[in-house]
């Protein structure tokens, strides 16, 4: 695992570095935010930033967001820096590690990052066949196209392949082709030179160079602009890239993995995807079955998620009742593993005792899962709920709708800010700023452990 230490490297922070190296981490150091961002911009990536709490952590996180660099930040400092620790967490740091460092705590943080999503939990024979094929081709450098419905675990499978390849000790870099505006995607992939365009204030190393020696995952490749596909094809064929504004090609050594939840063959026929690029990507196709086609995995994943979220919320042991299991197995799961995880997360939060009954297996709007299945499946339920919600929003301002969504979600999570921010897809800092604004407006904000009270 690659660890970047940010801050003055002296005293107890030096000891934290030594413990991290003993834990198997590859450690680099940046004495300032500017040097840290320059290092990341230059392609010397990191899996985790360990930052001195006295550094301007809000500024660092803002800089990472501006550069579209996604790396978890962990703050560390002496126990006397309580206010700074609180500010670091508010700014978006994932954890705070007190100094002097504890060897077991440092090791636990490194292990948590290192093992993230490298294991693939499965029990069903249909998934076992896919994993067997993945094991057979993991050691090669062949390009792999991973297909399947949204939420089936395509990115997890990509990490599984990388972890079992000869490149496992090198970077695994992922880029979501649908999440980055078309005008920026070329620069994100291939990098740019200083002055290549307005705002290019320094050379930026792209994902291809950052992944050199390791694996590059092109997530949602079907959403890439047709014109950029030609440049991608050349990069894959020749293992050469051209930085935007550059004057000479740059060689790269990478393995390409790609994912899509669309039929790329159909996209080729419709003229939206290059056939020659599809041939280059689709040397091996791993097609992940939908969750409804792997009932054996529903049971195993359900137990895993119940254990995970009970532990994460500081709760005692939880188990699913027989009737709750029956409901889970009967549901069609259009959102697949992602939807199952969210459902079990809610169930753990709503469970009143050690046994999770069918009443806790609820939809986001509070409707029981059994009711949704009887009403014609979750897809029909979701469509009806969306239509009803749309009618309810007409005539209201965006700010009103946003406020209701945030407060309802927080109440549904029993006041847990972290879980609410994850469900809403916003940072914990953004959520807290919104809640402070609502409190200033005189609204009641659910405290931890409370549901929202509706007048």
Look at the chain and report how many structural domains it folds into: 3
Token pair belonging to 246: 């550059």
Residue 218 inside a domain? The answer is yes
Q: Specify the pLDDT at position 252.
A: 94
Look up the CATH number of the domain holding residue 142: 3.40.50.300
Q: Specify the pLDDT at position 45.
A: 72
The residue out of 247, 265, 287 marking a domain boundary is 287
Say if residue 47 is in the same domain as residue 182: no
Residue 176 inside a domain? The answer is yes
Say if residue 143 is in the same domain as residue 275: yes
Say if residue 270 is in the same domain as residue 180: yes
Q: Specify the pLDDT at position 285.
A: 95
The residue out of 268, 287, 306 marking a domain boundary is 287
Q: Specify the pLDDT at position 382.
A: 47
Is 306:328 a contact under the CB 8 Å cutoff?
Answer: no
**Block residue for tokens 């930040």:** 73
Look up the CATH number of the domain holding residue 93: 3.40.50.2300
Say if residue 146 is in the same domain as residue 238: yes
Q: 59-66 — which CB contacts under 8 Å span 24+ positions?
A: 59/33, 60/6, 60/33, 60/36, 61/91, 61/92, 61/93, 61/429, 63/33, 63/37, 64/37, 64/40
Residue 271 inside a domain? The answer is yes
Structural domain span for residue 363: 291-381
CA torsion through residues 143, 147, 150, 151, sign: negative
DSSP structure string for 81-93: -HHHHHHHHHHT-
Kind and range of the H or E element at 132?
helix 125-137
Residue 260 burial (10 A CB sphere; 0-12, 13-18, 19+)? buried
Say if residue 247 is in the same domain as residue 271: yes
Q: Specify the pLDDT at position 383.
A: 47
Backbone angles phi, psi at 122, to 5 degrees: -155, 155
Going by C-alpha positions, the residue among 416, 411, 421, 415 that lies closest to residue 454 is 411
Contacts of 47 by beta carbon, 8 Å cutoff, 6+ apart: 1, 2, 3, 71, 113, 114
**Block residue for tokens 């509706």:** 454
Residue 432 inside a domain? The answer is no
What is the spatial distance between Cα 390 and Cα 27, in angstroms, rounded to a whole number?
50
First vs last C-alpha separation in the chain: 51
Say if residue 282 is in the same domain as residue 297: no
Say if residue 59 is in the same domain as residue 106: yes
What is the spatial distance between Cα 411 and Cα 408, in angstroms, rounded to a whole number?
5
Going by C-alpha positions, the residue among 343, 365, 455, 369 that lies closest to residue 409 is 365
Say if residue 242 is in the same domain as residue 148: yes
Q: Print pLDDT tens along the chain (455 aa).
A: 678 888 875 666 677 777 777 766 778 888 888 998 888 877 677 878 888 888 888 888 888 887 777 788 888 877 566 777 777 788 788 778 777 767 777 676 666 655 554 567 888 889 989 999 999 999 999 999 999 999 999 999 999 999 889 998 888 999 999 888 877 899 899 998 888 877 777 888 899 999 999 999 999 999 999 989 999 999 999 999 999 888 889 999 999 999 999 999 999 999 999 999 999 999 999 999 999 999 989 988 999 899 888 887 778 888 999 999 999 998 999 999 999 998 998 888 888 788 998 888 866 555 566 555 554 444 544 444 444 455 455 567 888 888 888 888 888 777 888 878 878 888 888 888 899 898 888 888 887 766 665 44
Look up the CATH number of the domain holding residue 298: 1.10.8.60
Say if residue 248 is in the same domain as residue 135: yes
Kind and range of the H or E element at 339?
helix 336-350
Residue 337 inside a domain? The answer is yes
Cα 372 versus chain centre, distance: 28
Put simply, whether the predicted model's pTM sits higher than 0.75 gets the answer: no
Is 350:360 a contact under the CB 8 Å cutoff?
Answer: yes
Strand order of the β-sheet with 255-260 is: 172-176, 215-219, 255-260, 144-147, 284-287
Residue 15 inside a domain? The answer is yes
Say if residue 141 is in the same domain as residue 280: yes
The residue out of 329, 349, 381 marking a domain boundary is 381
Q: Specify the pLDDT at position 282.
A: 93
Token pair belonging to 197: 């365009």
What are the strands, taking DSSP E only, across 111-154? 144-147
């Amino acid at each position: 695992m690659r660890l970047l230490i940010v801050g003055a490297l002296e005293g107890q922070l030096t000891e934290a570095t030594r413990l991290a190296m003993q834990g198997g981490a590859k450690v680099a150091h940046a004495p300032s935010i500017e040097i840290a961002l320059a290092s990341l911009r230059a392609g010397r990536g990191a899996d985790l930033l360990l930052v001195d709490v006295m550094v301007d952590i809000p500024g660092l996180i803002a800089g990472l967001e501006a550069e579209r660099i996604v790396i978890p930040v962990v703050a560390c400092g002496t126990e006397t820096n309580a206010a700074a620790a609180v500010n670091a967490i508010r700014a978006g740091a994932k954890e705070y590690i007190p100094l002097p460092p504890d060897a077991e705590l440092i090791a636990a943080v490194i292990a948590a990052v290192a093992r993230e999503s490298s294991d693939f939990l499965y029990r069903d024979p249909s998934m076992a066949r896919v994993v067997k094929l993945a094991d057979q081709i993991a050691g090669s450098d062949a390009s792999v196209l991973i297909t399947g419905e949204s939420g089936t675990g395509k990115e997890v499978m990509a990490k599984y392949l990388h972890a079992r390849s000869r490149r496992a000790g090198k970077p695994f870099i992922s880029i979501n082709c649908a999440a980055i505006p078309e005008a920026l995607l070329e620069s994100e992939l291939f990098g740019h030179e200083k002055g290549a365009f307005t705002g290019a204030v320094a050379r930026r190393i792209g994902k291809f160079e950052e992944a050199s020696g390791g694996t590059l995952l092109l997530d949602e490749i079907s959403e890439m602009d047709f014109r950029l596909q030609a440049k991608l094809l050349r990069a894959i064929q020749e293992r050469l890239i051209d930085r935007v504004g550059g004057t000479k090609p740059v060689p790269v050594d990478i393995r390409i993995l790609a994912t899509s939840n669309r039929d790329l063959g159909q996209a080729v026929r419709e003229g939206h995807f290059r056939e020659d690029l599809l041939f280059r990507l689709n040397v091996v196709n791993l097609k992940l079955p939908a969750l409804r086609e792997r009932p054996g995995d529903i049971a195993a994943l359900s137990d895993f998620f119940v254990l995970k979220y009970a532990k994460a919320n500081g709760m005692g042991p939880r188990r699913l009742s027989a009737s709750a299991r029956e409901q889970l197995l009967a549901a069609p799961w259009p959102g697949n593993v992602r939807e199952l995880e969210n459902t079990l997360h809610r169930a753990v939060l709503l469970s009143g005792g050690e046994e999770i009954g069918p009443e806790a297996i609820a939809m986001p709007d509070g409707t029981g899962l059994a009711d949704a299945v009887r009403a014609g499946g979750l897809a029909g339920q979701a469509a009806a709920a969306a239509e009803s919600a749309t009618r309810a929003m007409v005539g209201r301002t965006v700010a009103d709708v946003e406020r209701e969504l945030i407060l309802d979600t927080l109440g549904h999570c029993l006041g847990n800010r972290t879980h609410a921010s994850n469900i809403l897809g916003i940072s914990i800092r953004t959520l807290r700023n919104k809640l402070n604004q609502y409190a200033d407006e005189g609204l009641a904000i659910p405290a931890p452990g409370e549901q929202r009270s509706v007048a």
